[in-house]
Amino acid sequence: MYWLFYNVVFVVGFMLVLPRYLWRMCRRGGYARGFTQRFGCYDEALLTTLKARKRIWVHAVSVGEVFVALRFIETYRGAHPDMAFVLTTNTSTGHRIAEARLHADDVLLYFPVDLPLFIKRVLDRIQPAALVLTECELWPNLIHLADERGIPIALLNGRVSDSSYRGYSLCRPLFRNLLQRFSVVLVQGKQDTARVTELGARPERMHELGTAKYDVATTDTSKVELIRGVLASAGFPGDAPIIVGGSTWPGEERVLLDVFQRLRRSIEGLKLVLVPRHFERAADVERELKTEGVSYVKRSALEPGTSAGEPADVLLVDSTGELMGVYAHASVIFVGKSLTNHGGQNIMEPALLGKPVLFGPNMENFPVVSEDFLAADAAVQVANESELESRLGKLLTDAEDAATLGARAAELVRSKRGCLKRSVALIHAMQ
């Protein structure tokens, strides 16, 4: 009954979204590449490679999950060098990231459409030693058919967001059936443990390990010197106090600008750097800057060794791949999508630089991480613009407090690593 209901609903939904998918595939050529893999169709060379050795099948969807999956594979191979892997992704972006980083012994594929015909075909061709699903990717036909073949199934770095929990609760009998098929369920935090257990997972197979994102967090310092030159070109003195708003979303730039305008009255030489989460929004942010009447310069107009003319008060970073370089020069950092938007962004990477970090009340994408930071007094959470101004002002005028906060943050990230090593041991033991 479960499978009939799911497959009917899935087919109807798939047919409804297919025209849009095909349109995007025609419009953006990246979607066409590997299209037939979504139906379990592989060329002869790929089939030969898949047959050559036993592999663990790891599936990841989002970019963040792909990084976790890649680090899991690397950690597993370190402990068990003879194992090889198949990594599947849903998106072309995740596929590109994995393609650039995957080990030569492993195989990268697009995830198949979750219908029995295609899932059976892919299972026949991969014949995985185990199936590892990241975060909470519960694909009913894949889980059902893998379990029927006696393939051990693991949930890695499991997290149940508010929206996922609501969705799974609507089909509780189906997801109870699925979760009971897992050999091991590795979750991030207490809330995830409670939710997954309540949805039907077997308590004796549950393990609360913290989040694997600590293992993935790194400090890319390749752009530090480049950004040093960019800041100099913008007229930022080397000793200037700098607020960085990183990965900001609509509404947050205006808040930061207003706070900056007030704080600079009492903090001499204060500067602001804005790095929108999506650089395509630079034009919208620029309109905010003009409305505020502050002097600013865009990153795209600067190169090290050049001059923007009059020194600017604000640098608008309308480029990609330079956020960590910007963070390295910050006096204090606000991490966006947390004040006026929901979800939150990565606070671990700026923390690893030993910088004092602030974020807003909405950290739904990083619940365990934000709780860890707050419990260790390693970051500052603000509820609104007024609190943001107050806490920024204190950190900018109390160098000792800022340094202590940053040091605690860096130490926390280092101390929390090890989730993937423990995950490898538990997943290896289930086979």
Asked if pLDDT for residue 182 goes beyond 90, the answer is yes
Please, are residues 365 and 343 in contact by the beta-carbon 8 Å criterion? yes
Specify the pLDDT at position 24.
62
Q: What are phi and psi of 287, to 5 degrees?
A: -65, -40
Residue 295 CB-half CA count within 13 A:
11
Specify the pLDDT at position 357.
98
Residue range 91-109: mean pLDDT, rounded? 92
Specify the pLDDT at position 11.
63
Q: Where in the chain is CATH 3.40.50.2000?
A: 224-415
9: confidence class by pLDDT, cuts 50, 70, 90? low
Cα 265 from Cα 4, distance rounded (Å)? 66
Residue range 45-70: mean pLDDT, rounded? 94
Specify the pLDDT at position 136.
82
165 closest CA partner among 155, 175, 178: 175
Specify the pLDDT at position 302.
87
Question: Nearest 10 degrees: CA dihedral of 253, 256, 257, 263?
Answer: -170
CATH homologous superfamily, domain 224-415: Glycogen Phosphorylase B; (3.40.50.2000)
Q: What percent of the chain has pLDDT over 70?
A: 92
Cα 314 from Cα 318, distance rounded (Å)? 12
Q: Output the six-digit token pair for 352.
A: 């690893």
Q: Where in the chain is CATH 3.40.50.11720?
A: 25-211+418-429
Q: Output the six-digit token pair for 331.
A: 């006096």
Mean pLDDT of the chain: 92
Asked if pLDDT for residue 410 goes beyond 60, the answer is yes
Please, are residues 211 and 413 in contact by the beta-carbon 8 Å criterion? no
182 closest CA partner among 169, 168, 196: 196
Q: What are phi and psi of 246, to 5 degrees?
A: -105, 140
Cα 91 from Cα 78, distance rounded (Å)? 27
Please determine, looking at this structure, whether the domain spanning 25-211+418-429 carries the CATH number 3.40.50.11720. Answer: yes
103: confidence class by pLDDT, cuts 50, 70, 90? very high
Give the lowest-confidence range in 166-175, 199-208, 300-309, 353-362.
300-309
Asked if pLDDT for residue 192 goes beyond 90, the answer is yes
Specify the pLDDT at position 34.
78
CA dist list (Å): 346 to 294, 308, 350, 365, 370: 28, 31, 8, 9, 10
Asked if pLDDT for residue 127 goes beyond 70, the answer is yes
Higher model confidence: residue 124 or residue 90?
124
Pairing of strands 130-134, 55-59: parallel
Which residues lie closer than 8 Å to 364 by C-beta, 6 or more apart?
A: 161, 162, 342, 343, 344
Residue range 304-316: mean pLDDT, rounded? 81
The pTM is what? Answer: 0.89
281 closest CA partner among 298, 264, 293, 269: 298
Specify the pLDDT at position 163.
86
pLDDT digits (tens, 9 = 90+) for 346-362: 999 999 999 999 999 99
Task: Please provide the size of the chain in residues.
Answer: 431
Burial of 391 (0-12, 13-18, 19+ CB in 10 A): middle
pLDDT digits (tens, 9 = 90+) for 376-392: 999 999 999 999 999 99
